[in-house]
């Protein structure tokens, strides 16, 4: 069998932090799709995908030698309300391994059956949500956005009941860590302040060594990373959909892809999760919600860090976010050398996009093309678009390199759905192959797959996604 150098770091924290358990033997597993670009992250060669034990290991049917699988315990605020104990209800950590770069990576199975934290869930995952997360992590990574990754999809050949019976699957998910804000909340609200300190020291020692002995400085770095993450989301038009504190990574990663969506028509108030009736997690709310979540984390750390220091670090969030977002948006417009009026010029473009319902990704990509192509994206507002373009060209007469910062391809919901339907309806992974290739090279032009860069056709415009997506 293929070999991984395993390290059992998280288990050393002690049994209050997890439940040690084997995965359920879910269905009859076989490898549906594998991601060679992710294999080196955990020290695997792509040849491992052909190993006869591969599907058994990455479905949880066969444990990796030298690691006892475990489900993590954590809690969280969901939609702003304290939810109490949550934990890895359908996820299982089956390994931690250090790659050639010295990075420790988690290997986690999502959909491998019930754990003690499943509550009323069945611990399973459906093919639909598995494909979406598999593609989304790779799309975000290629855009330079911190994220979990995916190694493979295992089909289980069973049906899983959601709104209807759907094909089941297991995702082998990779991340530097799956520790969340909710891990700290779990012990804080249980009054186990020693555990809060123990967990913080573990996280700092492994992932933030420059902050050894400096808990306040470490929290400030978490604030900074979170602010930068949200700025990245806003700059590419990504809406997460369910920013509960149990879905917020302590490392500043994009974690837990459910009802996410990359924006098509620019609508600042986009709600991509149809169960979010109040719009708490709308696109334009994400910066404020991230700050809210950081305040919840600060409350969980108040036995460890003085209140004044927590407030001081929290107060840096807005400046970190604004500085990063401004830098990213200026780069998207090619405004390397700052001049008076630049912020107004970018603001005018976003206002015009919202007014016209222009496609977010296509507009920024078209900045590096002709004004005629640009204007066609503003149906009914072409005159205003040409007037803006004239001001923009006067500001930046020489365009170069814009296609290197503005992707042609993002994982639009309709594109993910095309891959899902091909797998579910026809057992055809060729569309999944193509989409994975495109989102892993989002800045390139692929003539044969230009259609995947387009906004959704009418039959795909009303796609609805929820927390089970």
Is 246 one of the annotated active-site residues of the chain?
A: yes
Rounded CA separation 19/16 (Å): 8
Structure-token match 């995965």, residue found: 23
- SS3 breakdown of the chain: % helix, strand, coil, rounded to 5? 45, 15, 40
Tokens of 331: 């780069």
The count of other CB atoms within 10 Å of the CB of residue 187 is 24
Rounded CA separation 125/466 (Å): 14
**Integer CA distances (angstroms), 426 to 347, 423, 429, in order:** 45, 6, 9
Contacts of 459 (CB under 8 A, 6+ apart): none
Closest to 180 in 3D by CA, of 234, 112, 106? 106
Phi, psi angles (nearest 5°) of residue 78: -115, 125
Tokens of 112: 């491998």
CA 155 to chain centre: 22
Catalytic residue among 106, 246, 256, 264: 246
Tokens of 210: 């420059």
Structure-token match 């807005």, residue found: 318
Catalytic residues: 246
């Amino acid at each position: 069998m293929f070999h991984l150098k395993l390290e059992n770091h998280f288990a050393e924290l002690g049994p209050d932090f997890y439940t040690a358990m084997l995965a359920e033997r879910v269905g009859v597993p076989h490898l549906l799709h594998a991601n060679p670009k992710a294999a080196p992250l955990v020290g695997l060669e792509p040849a491992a995908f052909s190993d006869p034990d591969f599907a058994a290991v990455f479905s949880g049917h066969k444990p990796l030698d030298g690691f006892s699988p475990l489900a993590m315990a954590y809690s969280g605020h969901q939609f702003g309300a304290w939810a109490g104990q949550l934990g890895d209800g359908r996820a299982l950590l089956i390994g931690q391994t250090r790659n050639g770069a010295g990075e420790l990576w988690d290997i986690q199975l999502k959909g491998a059956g019930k754990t003690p934290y499943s509550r009323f869930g069945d611990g399973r995952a459906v093919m639909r949500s598995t494909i979406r997360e598999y593609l989304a992590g790779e799309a975000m990574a290629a855009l330079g956005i911190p994220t979990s990754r995916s190694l493979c999809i295992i089909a289980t050949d069973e049906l899983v009941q959601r709104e209807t019976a759907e094909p089941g699957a297991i995702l082998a998910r990779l991340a530097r860590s799956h520790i969340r804000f909710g891990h700290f909340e779990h012990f804080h609200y249980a009054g186990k302040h020693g555990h809060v300190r123990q967990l913080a020291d573990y996280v700092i020692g492994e992932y933030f060594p420059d902050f050894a002995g400096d808990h306040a400085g470490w929290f400030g770095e978490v604030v900074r990373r979170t602010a930068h993450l949200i700025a990245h989301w806003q700059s590419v038009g990504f809406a997460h959909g369910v920013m509960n504190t149990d879905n917020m990574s302590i490392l500043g990663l994009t974690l837990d892809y459910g009802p996410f969506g990359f924006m098509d028509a620019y609508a600042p108030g986009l709600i991509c999760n149809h169960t979010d009736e109040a719009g708490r997690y709308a696109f334009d709310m994400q910066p404020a919600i991230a700050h809210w979540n950081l305040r919840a984390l600060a409350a969980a750390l108040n036995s460890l860090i003085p209140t004044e220091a927590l407030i001081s670090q929290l107060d840096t969030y807005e400046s970190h976010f604004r500085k990063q977002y401004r830098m990213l948006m200026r780069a998207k417009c090619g405004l390397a050398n700052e001049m008076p009026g630049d912020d107004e010029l970018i603001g005018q473009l976003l206002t015009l996009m919202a007014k016209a319902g222009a496609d977010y990704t296509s507009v920024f990509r078209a900045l590096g093309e002709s004004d005629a192509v640009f204007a066609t994206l503003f149906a009914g507002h072409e005159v205003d678009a040409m007037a803006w373009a004239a001001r923009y060209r006067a500001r930046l007469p020489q365009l170069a390199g814009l296609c290197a910062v503005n992707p042609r391809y993002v994982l639009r919901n309709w594109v993910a759905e095309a891959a899902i339907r091909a797998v579910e309806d026809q057992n055809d992974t060729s569309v999944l192959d193509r989409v994975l290739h495109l989102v892993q090279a989002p800045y390139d032009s692929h003539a044969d797959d230009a259609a995947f860069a387009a906004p959704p056709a009418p039959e795909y415009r009303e796609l609805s996604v929820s927390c089970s997506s």
